[in-house]
Amino acid sequence: MLGLTPSGVSRSVSRLENRLGIRLFDRTTRALHLTDEGARFYEAVVSHLEGIEEAANDASGAANMVRGRLRINVDPFFSGLVLAPHLSTFTARYPDLQIEIHTRDDVGDLVSDGMDVAVRFGPQPSSSLISRLLLKTRILTVATPSYLKAHGKPQRPQDLANHACIQFRNPQTGRPFEWEFQRGTTIIPVQTNGQLLLTDVNTMLQACLGGAGVAQVMSLGVEQWIASGALVDLFPDWPDEIFPLYAVHPSRRHPAAKVRAFLDFCTELGKQAAL
């Protein structure tokens, strides 16, 4: 990108390491990785480098130009059911932007992974990352008509104790998510059990659609199955449990224009969805 030879870049990095007195990279014949010190150094200086670039863009009247390469770490469920169908709109809007999407189950280390932004469901743990709430989606308790015909329809949340409930593992705790129901300020926790414990939202959804049991799913992305009758919302009178979607990015004073553009686009998608 800089128009330098690999050996020229290597010499520049070596000079920087000698000046700092630390090793920035672990090198092998096949790979090159930032050391922990290198990652911390990058996180400390990148905002200043971007500030210089933004100042130059501002001076040239290009501060709001969305261009370059955007590397995104995205939740697989959001990526497949919500983001992917609208990517053509985003790329048409910003033709000078190159987009690289990585679908992963966790945020990982955005700095060492070279990611600009990550999109994740659920409350985000305290960290040096900046979190931005993109949208909130309802939690629905659903089952197929065939399952309800075979096992009966629960009349109240507490009846789920006698049903096959598909469990989903909380990636932050390693334990199954607890089921609860909320109406206004009233919250009812319900102890549920089932043979299936899953770690992938799409697998859970498909298992539920196959009649394996009752599942709690996000309304975002499943509206078509509710509308068609393939899934039945068991407790529409308990509508107030919600689940947030956050964007997280490294702590910087001014996120790059490409990051701001993507965050605004995700917010648009949330407003369009039937939450």
Q: How confident is the model at residue 141 (pLDDT cuts 50, 70, 90)?
A: very high
Lowest-pLDDT range of 28-42, 52-66, 161-175: 52-66
- State the average pLDDT over residues 126-154: 89
Q: Is the pLDDT of residue 248 over 50?
A: yes
Q: How far, in Å, CA of 178 to CA of 170, rounded?
A: 9
Residue 227, exposed/middle/buried by CB under 10 A (0-12, 13-18, 19+)?
Answer: exposed
Q: How far apart are the first and last CA of the chain?
A: 43
Q: Is the pLDDT of residue 158 over 90?
A: yes
Instruction: Show the domains of the chain with their CATH numbers.
Output: 1-64 (1.10.10.10), 136-243 (3.40.190.290)
Q: How confident is the model at residue 94 (pLDDT cuts 50, 70, 90)?
A: very high
Neighbours of 114 (CB within 10 A): 14
Lowest-pLDDT range of 40-49, 59-68, 78-87, 224-233: 59-68
Q: How confident is the model at residue 273 (pLDDT cuts 50, 70, 90)?
A: low
Please give the pLDDT value at position 275.
Answer: 44
Q: Is the pLDDT of residue 274 over 50?
A: no
Lowest-pLDDT range of 61-70, 71-80, 134-143: 61-70
Does 76 or 228 have the greater pLDDT score? 228
| Short-list 225, 220, 202, CA closest to 271 | 220
Which span out of 5-9, 106-110, 164-168, 245-249 was modeled with the highest average pLDDT? 164-168
Q: Is the pLDDT of residue 253 over 60?
A: no
Q: What is the pLDDT of residues 142-155, one digit of tens each?
A: 999 999 999 999 99
Mean pLDDT for the chain overall = 86
Q: Is the pLDDT of residue 208 over 50?
A: yes
| Short-list 45, 111, 121, 36, CA closest to 83 | 121
Q: How far, in Å, CA of 120 to CA of 249, rounded?
A: 11
Q: Name the CA dihedral angle for 105, 109, 114, 116, rounded to a multiple of 10 degrees.
A: 70
| Short-list 263, 221, 222, CA closest to 246 | 263
Which span out of 51-65, 111-125, 194-208 was modeled with the highest average pLDDT? 194-208
Percent of the chain with pLDDT over 70: 91
- State the average pLDDT over residues 41-66: 71
- State the average pLDDT over residues 149-166: 96
